[in-house]
Amino acid sequence: NLEPAIRELHKQHGPILSVTFLSPRPAIFISGRANTHRALVQHGHVLASRPPAIAPFLVLTSGQHTISSAPYGPFWRSLRRNLTSGLLNPSRVPLYASARRWAIDLLTSDLMSRGNNGTAGITVVDCLQFAMFSLLTCMCFGRRLDGHCLREIEAVQRELFSSYISFQAFAFCPAITKRLFFRRWQKVLSIRRRQEELFLPLIKERKNDVTSGSTACCDHDDNLAYCYVDTLLDHKLPKDADDRKLTDSEMSQHYSGSWQTWLGSQRFQAKLLDEINGVVSCNKELVTEEDLKAMPYLKAVVLEGLRRHPPAHFLLSHAAVKETSLDGFHIPVGRSVNFSVADIALDEKTWTREREFWTDRFLNDGEGVGVDLTGSREIKMMPFGVGRRICPGLGLALLHLEYFVANMVREFQWGMVGGDGGGVVSLTEQPEFTVTMAQPLHALVTPRRVSPAMARRAVP
Ligand code: HEM
């Protein structure tokens, strides 16, 4: 449980710390809005790299050849530009409208078919993650994958996310820890193998434009004209990019929470529903992307969710491109430099009632109105990071959050397990790759109307 310890060390020793854990190389921690702005925005180009990956992540990122893990340089720039100008280009948003509708249909049907499990409620995260995997894999591979294939992809990715922290053990003397934690190391290799077994055939199918029924994984009627794999297959790396692949032998070597009333309490739901009904006519199938633009309360709910419960409590580790100094502290190349997202979001000097889920701060004259999530002027909250390594999926993520929340509130009444007004939900957090709920949410879900998705299901 690193976070409280780091916070305490900052209190005792100041905003810039160098801490030695198990790894021989100390990690640097930088706190505070102003310091973070200086480091990541004003001197953003200097701290825009990533530190050398430890053994498991070398395997899982093919030797730091992914956008998020690649060191700053032509290779990273080229891949990142390919993603932002291709799949994430705002002009392509409408291309995936049908995939988004499909994901909402899947989610609606899934929630309905689980039938509240008596009075124990539905484990919401299972349904939500499955719908989100369906949508993102569709955008990635250009096809609606079938349920079996999706479940397999979901299972391997979830295993990776939940084991992520335990893999840090290999930071210390990997030659020994690989033997000491032999099973854990085997898990790293098995996750990678399964990812290859699942993803490579899908990539090859897309490449060969297979339309026969030989691949049971695909629903051929719903091929997308454009997907992320297409952009990667067409992509040409610049000459000076380091596209060195790991050799086989290298591969085998490496191979605060509190009890709170729930956000879904009737008050939030009723206000959201009022807003949605004011914008969307009752005979319309779904809330659309266009409708979302006229929903300030929905935006406030989503922003307050990201502020109070950011999925990442720390940014991915940054590193200096060249030796540098920050406020008189020396930062060598290759050191991991870390920034706390959660502490900035809970800074009492920026936010009143900072620990409360209080949507009004993003409405009318509230302190959060017009907050700049890119942090270019100043940082008030940074759930997506700031500066050169800012999350390129920011726009898409906000769209998905608003779209899913709006449609789920419109379709269902969300109730607490445990009865009227008496229910509480544990918001105790559990660190994984992202921060998750230690006790997953169980909710009672009641349809508000016969939705088109339900009607379609009813047709044999
Ligand atoms: C609520 C949803 C999301 C949150 C909170 C989130 C947050 C983050 C954060 C905190 C980082 C690290 C920034 C840093 O190191 O300074 C990051 C990086 C990244 N995110 Fe996201 N993200 C989300 C969704 C997405 C989506 C939907 C995509 C793609 C479709 C995406 C793609 C990436 C990539 C490629 C990076 C690495 C950027 C780089 O190193 O240059 N993210 N994200």
DSSP codes of every residue in 187-232: HHHHHHHHHHHHHHHHHHHHHHT--STT-TTEEGGG--S--HHHHH
Q: Containing H/E element for 16?
A: strand 16-19
| Per-residue pLDDT at 244 | 53
Q: Please provide the size of the chain in residues.
A: 460
Residue 115 in this model has a pLDDT that exceeds 80: yes
The SS3 call for residue 28 is strand
Q: At what angle do helices 182-208 and 147-163 cross, to 10 degrees?
A: 140
Of 378, 442, 401, which Cα lies nearest the Cα of 38? 378
Q: Whose CA is nearest to atom 32 of ligand 1?
A: 393
Ligand 1 centre to CA of 438 (Å) is 22
The SS3 call for residue 260 is strand
CA distance 313 to 346: 11
Dihedral pair phi/psi, residue 351, rounded to 5°? -115, 130
Residue 174 in this model has a pLDDT that exceeds 90: no
Of 262, 313, 339, which Cα lies nearest the Cα of 430? 313
Q: Whose CA is nearest to atom 30 of ligand 1?
A: 393
For residue 148 the two structure tokens come to: 């079996």
For residue 189 the two structure tokens come to: 């290799």
391 among the known binding-site residues? yes
CA distance 435 to 140: 24
Dihedral pair phi/psi, residue 287, rounded to 5°? -70, 130
Q: Whose CA is nearest to atom 3 of ligand 1?
A: 397
Cβ–ligand 1 contact at 70 (below 6 Å): no
Q: Tens of pLDDT along 15-46? A: 999 998 766 789 999 999 999 999 999 999 99
Residue 290 in this model has a pLDDT that exceeds 60: yes
| Per-residue pLDDT at 2 | 83
Dihedral pair phi/psi, residue 336, rounded to 5°? -80, 130
Q: At what angle do helices 182-208 and 124-141 cross, to 10 degrees?
A: 50
CA distance 410 to 277: 8
Q: Whose CA is nearest to atom 1 of ligand 1?
A: 397
Ligand 1 centre to CA of 175 (Å) is 32
Q: Which residue has the higher pLDDT, 130 or 415?
A: 130
**pTM of the complete model:** 0.91
What is the average per-residue pLDDT within 418-431?
A: 75
Q: Is the ipTM of this complex over 0.95?
A: yes
Cβ–ligand 1 contact at 80 (below 6 Å): yes
| Per-residue pLDDT at 238 | 83
The SS3 call for residue 447 is strand
Contact 107, 451 (CB under 8 A): no
Q: Which residue has the higher pLDDT, 322 or 115?
A: 322
Of 308, 331, 435, 302, which Cα lies nearest the Cα of 40? 331
| Per-residue pLDDT at 217 | 42
Contact 170, 59 (CB under 8 A): no
For residue 56 the two structure tokens come to: 């498991």
- DSSP helix, strand, coil percent of the chain (3-state; round to 5): 50, 10, 40
The full set of domains in the chain, from first to last, is 2-241+256-449 (1.10.630.10)
Distance of CA 457 to the CA centre of its chain: 30
Q: Which of 96-110, 391-405, 413-427 is the least confident region?
A: 413-427
- pLDDT bracket for residue 298 (50, 70, 90): very high
The ligand 1 atom at the shortest distance from the C-alpha of residue 311 is 5
Ligand 1 centre to CA of 215 (Å) is 31
Q: Which residue has the higher pLDDT, 335 or 253?
A: 335
The ligand 1 atom at the shortest distance from the C-alpha of residue 139 is 30
Cβ–ligand 1 contact at 396 (below 6 Å): yes
What is the average per-residue pLDDT within 344-370?
A: 95
Ligand 1 centre to CA of 315 (Å) is 9
DSSP state, residue 294: T
Q: How far is CA 232 from CA 80, 89, 161, 207, in A?
A: 11, 15, 24, 11
Q: Whose CA is nearest to atom 19 of ligand 1?
A: 391
Residue 253 in this model has a pLDDT that exceeds 80: no
What is the average per-residue pLDDT within 391-418?
A: 94
